[in-house]
């Protein structure tokens, strides 16, 4: 089979797609309420993965810039109004900010499309409204966390206070620039913290726009600072900084280890990490094949596979394995890959050349390891970082493509016999971020969901995220939770206050 012709591809006409590109308004660092050049004057290019052309030149922050941002955040925390105003007042400003995000939805979605190759349509339907709703959730939560009165064993009155942890460094990834920005920033704002955000160097544009909107909404100067730049410079400076109280990071397990080491070697700052994944989707003999194949395609090819919880290992029970492979292969071949501004396109280009090359290398590994390539496996065209939807069957569960996080549109299909075999295979990974189960049996769903060591289990659904539902990993997928009230706890300290009781009639 000619794999180059096995998938539909739309290279979207430039004249059409470029109509959607907004003017790039913000390319400087945002420190203490102002857009400023980096101290060094250095810049870097941000590239459109559809065309491989430069979109804009952005300020490259380094240690000196991080120092200035931390100084501003420290001043705002120690002496500014944000941690001292009521939770209700913080919530009012956050709600106003959410409204501004809604007002600029088209422009923000377009920025993430040209910067990350993300679907423009899904940006408008999912990412941008989801960010505004996350802000609203935490705006509503800002006055609903509190300490408790303690029942002491001695004649003492004791109670606890929940106090903001201080200055926070958020280091966010390139695959969901908007979603990850607000998953980190929203609960930290609600808690009363001040912060420095370091967006990924591949996708800096929307983060700078959000800094502008935060200022318009009335977030005080110094509370939210954005330092664009490279992980090895700006990111490392945040992790090593002696005056940052907490680092929240989403990205690779490799970098997560470096951040923990830096936190330990510097000021023992608290760390929360949401890291890699190799999430299994278990499909049992009683599953509806139509639903199972649709979920499996969504789980791996959504956002071109650049998603930490991608269902990159589909474990199929032997009774339906052959039929499943046949159906999913047919469906994958009909997926339209091309310009992400085209609403008919299922997914666009990988984020950059480095990521594309890494994915293609893993595909070659899969071929060498003896797995069967049933569809895809190639780059599409010569311009833009497009890769065909790729499916391997007959995959050995200990092979490289079944163990490593590829972070691209590459699916490994693995056969299993019994429920116990499926559970064992699902847990045969160093990661533990998420898992999916497709079955019509409540007993199977209950047994398997309690047996898989992962932070989120989706039963007969996938990517079922919600602002109120905690999200995070087991094992080498990290620790700490985003979303839900659990996320606010990451940005709070518990203080105990005790006073003696004299002549009290009861304790």
CA-to-CA distance for 245 and 261, rounded, in angstroms? Answer: 15
pLDDT of residue 145: 95
List every span in the chain annotated with CATH 3.40.605.10: 29-275
- Does residue 6 have a pLDDT over 50? no
29-275: CATH architecture: 3-Layer(aba) Sandwich (3.40)
pLDDT of residue 138: 98
pLDDT of residue 113: 97
Q: Taking residues 220-236, what's their average pLDDT?
A: 98
Please give the CATH number for the structural domain made up of 280-466: 3.40.309.10
Total-model pTM? 0.95
Taking all residues of the chain, what is their mean pLDDT, rounded to a whole number? 95
- Does residue 461 have a pLDDT over 70? yes
CA-to-CA distance for 175 and 168, rounded, in angstroms? Answer: 22
Q: What is the pLDDT of residues 334-393, one digit of tens each?
A: 999 999 999 999 999 999 999 999 999 999 999 999 999 999 999 999 999 999 999 999
- Does residue 209 have a pLDDT over 80? yes
**CB atoms inside a 10 Å sphere around CB 23:** 6
pLDDT of residue 276: 94
Q: Taking residues 148-154, what's their average pLDDT?
A: 96
- Does residue 394 have a pLDDT over 70? yes
| Residues assigned a catalytic role | 274
List every span in the chain annotated with CATH 3.40.309.10: 280-466
- Does residue 14 have a pLDDT over 50? no
- Does residue 20 have a pLDDT over 80? no
Q: What is the pLDDT of residues 156-186, one digit of tens each?
A: 999 999 999 999 999 999 999 999 999 999 9
Q: What is the pLDDT of residues 273-317, one digit of tens each?
A: 999 999 999 999 999 999 999 999 999 999 999 999 999 999 999
Q: What is the pLDDT of residues 105-140, one digit of tens each?
A: 999 999 999 999 999 999 999 999 999 999 999 999
**CB atoms inside a 10 Å sphere around CB 17:** 21
Buried b (16+ CB within 10 A) or exposed e, 315-343: bbbeebbeebbebbbebbbebebbbbbbe
């Amino acid at each position: 089979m000619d794999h180059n012709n096995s998938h539909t591809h739309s290279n979207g006409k430039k004249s059409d797609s470029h109509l959607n590109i907004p003017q790039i308004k913000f390319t400087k660092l945002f420190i203490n309420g102002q857009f400023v050049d980096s101290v060094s004057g250095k810049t870097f290019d941000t590239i459109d993965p559809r065309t491989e052309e430069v979109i804009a030149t952005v300020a490259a922050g380094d240690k000196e810039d991080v120092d200035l941002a931390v100084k501003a955040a420290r001043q705002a925390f120690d002496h500014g109004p944000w941690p001292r105003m009521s939770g209700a007042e913080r919530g009012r400003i956050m709600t106003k900010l959410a409204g501004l995000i809604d007002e600029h939805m088209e422009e923000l979605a377009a920025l993430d499309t040209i910067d990350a190759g993300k679907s423009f349509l899904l940006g408008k339907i999912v990412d941008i409204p989801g960010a505004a709703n996350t802000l609203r959730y935490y705006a509503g939560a800002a006055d609903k966390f509190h300490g408790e009165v303690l029942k002491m064993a001695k004649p003492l009155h004791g109670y606890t206070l929940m106090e903001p942890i201080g200055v926070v460094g958020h280091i966010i990834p390139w695959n969901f620039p908007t979603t990850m920005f607000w998953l980190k920033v929203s609960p930290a704002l609600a808690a009363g913290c001040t912060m420095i955000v370091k967006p990924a160097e591949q996708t800096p544009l929307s983060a700078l726009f959000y800094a502008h909107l935060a200022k318009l909404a009335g977030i005080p100067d110094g509370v939210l600072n954005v330092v664009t730049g490279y992980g090895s410079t700006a990111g490392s400076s945040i992790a090593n900084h002696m005056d940052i109280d907490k680092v929240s990071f989403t990205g690779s397990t490799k970098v997560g280890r470096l951040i923990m080491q830096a936190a330990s070697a510097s000021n023992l700052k608290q760390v929360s990490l949401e890291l890699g994944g190799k999430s299994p989707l278990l499909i049992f003999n009683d599953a509806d094949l139509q639903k199972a194949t649709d979920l499996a395609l969504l789980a791996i090819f959504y956002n071109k596979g650049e998603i930490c919880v991608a269902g990159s290992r589909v474990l199929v029970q032997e009774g339906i394995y052959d039929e499943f492979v046949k159906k999913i292969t047919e469906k994958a071949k009909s997926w339209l890959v091309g310009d992400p501004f085209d609403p008919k396109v299922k997914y666009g280009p990988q984020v950059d050349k480095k990521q594309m090359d890494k994915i293609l290398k893993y595909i070659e590994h899969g071929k060498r390891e003896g797995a069967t390539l049933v569809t895809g496996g190639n780059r599409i065209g010569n311009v833009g970082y497009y890769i065909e939807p790729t499916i391997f069957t007959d995959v050995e569960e200990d092979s490289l493509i079944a163990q490593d996080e590829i972070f691209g549109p590459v699916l490994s299909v693995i056969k299993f016999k019994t429920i116990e075999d499926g559970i064992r295979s699902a847990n045969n990974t160093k990661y533990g971020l998420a898992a999916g189960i497709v079955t019509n049996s409540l007993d199977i769903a209950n047994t398997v969901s309690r047996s898989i060591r992962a932070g989120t289990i989706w039963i007969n659904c996938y990517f079922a995220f919600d602002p109120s539902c905690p999200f995070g990993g087991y094992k080498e997928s990290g620790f700490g939770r985003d979303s839900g009230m659990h996320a606010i706890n990451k940005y709070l300290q518990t203080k105990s206050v005790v006073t003696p009781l004299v002549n009290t009639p009861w304790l």
